[in-house]
Amino acid sequence: MRIALGISYLGTHYQGWQSQPSGQTVQDQVESALSRFATVPLNTLCAGRTDAGVHGLMQVLHFDTDLAREAFSWVRGTNRFLPPDIAVQWAQAVPDAFHARASALARRYAYLLLESPVRPSVDAGRVGWTFRPLDGDAMRQAARHLIGTHDFTSFRASACQALSPVKQLTRLDITRKGAYWRFDFEANAFLHHMIRNIMGSLVQIGQGLLPPDAMAEVLAARDRDAAAPTFAPDGLYFLGPRYDPAWGLPERTSAYDWIE
């Protein structure tokens, strides 16, 4: 049978999601825990790979197994072998036609940014940081240039393996609560470092270093050198994919409430 899992993790101490020879990735930890619980090797496929230092509130993965276990057993049994900063949130049997990556209709991220003259402390590694005040209206005006289907080459890392730089960004909302800014992104898919590169340009515009319309010029340039440097991974959270409701999978985990 095919099993889907929802995973949450703090990415601070890991070299991203995808398995590496070092074994210091989230996928390595999850597959090790699954295999120890199942007592047979299990390999997984995920909805979206995250970079080193990036967090996940609902990474979705699937794997195939001959073992018959109740859903709660996959959750509790796997969590027994996981480190404290990674946890299975839910498990569900799915049809063989379901694919964690290929079945995803969209992917959602949030970036949390602290605006403060003092660096983060208790939230170190969990938020980005700017010590200069930000203009929310300027950033929102700039963000509007990115909504829609565009060639996002200017925000694409050189190591990106995507077949096309053209993506459809359907949401980029910017809100503030106290000293913390939240940037919500949703697209059919994202390029490598795309959100962090957009964040770099948004912050420059928010700080008044560039006018809002500069975002349109950066986008049109289709040149990575036209955009700002890549922003820190600390405040980036993978909220998870969106699937057709017919699959019956959860759309959120309790960790969503933590970053509200």
Tens place of pLDDT per residue across the chain (260 aa): 999 999 999 999 999 999 999 989 999 999 999 999 999 999 999 999 999 999 999 999 999 999 989 999 999 999 999 999 999 999 999 999 999 999 999 999 999 999 999 999 999 999 999 999 999 999 999 999 999 999 999 999 988 888 899 999 999 999 999 999 999 999 999 999 999 999 999 999 999 999 999 999 999 999 999 999 999 999 999 999 999 999 999 988 998 998 87
Place of tokens 């940037």: 183
User: How would CATH label the architecture of 2-103?
Assistant: 2-Layer Sandwich (3.30)
Return the SS3 of 32: helix
If you ran DSSP here, which 8-state letter would residue 47 be given? S
Structural contact between residues 112 and 181, judged by C-beta atoms closer than 8 angstroms? yes
Report the percentage of the chain scoring pLDDT > 70. Answer: 100
Say whether 51 is catalytic. yes
Return the SS3 of 246: helix
Q: Indicate which residue of 51, 64, 151, 223 is catalytic.
A: 51
Query: What tokens appear for 91 in the block?
Result: 């498990």
* Fold observed for domain 106-237: Alpha-Beta Plaits (3.30.70)
Structural contact between residues 226 and 187, judged by C-beta atoms closer than 8 angstroms? no
Give the CA-trace dihedral at 52, 106, 191, 177, to 10 degrees.
-60
Q: What is the mean pLDDT of the chain?
A: 95
pLDDT digits 0-9 by tens, 50-88 = 999 999 999 999 999 999 899 999 999 999 999 999 999
Equal CATH topology for 2-103 and 106-237: yes
**pLDDT score, position 158:** 85
**pLDDT score, position 161:** 85
- Give which of 111, 245, 83 is closest to 172, Cα–Cα: 111
Domain segments of the chain as ranges = 2-103, 106-237
Question: What gap in Å lies between CA 65 and CA 88, rounded to an integer?
Answer: 17
Residue 179 burial (CB < 10 Å; 0-12/13-18/19+)? exposed
Per-position b or e across 2-11, b if 16+ CB within 10 A of its CB: bbbbbbbbbb
Would you tell me the crossing angle of helices 194-206 and 214-221 to the nearest 10 degrees? 150
pLDDT digits 0-9 by tens, 135-173 = 999 999 999 999 999 999 999 998 888 889 999 999 999
Q: Where are the beta strands (DSSP E) in the chain?
A: 2-9, 45-46, 55-64, 86-94, 106-115, 128-130, 148-151, 166-177, 180-187, 236-242
Chain centroid, CA 130 distance in Å? 21
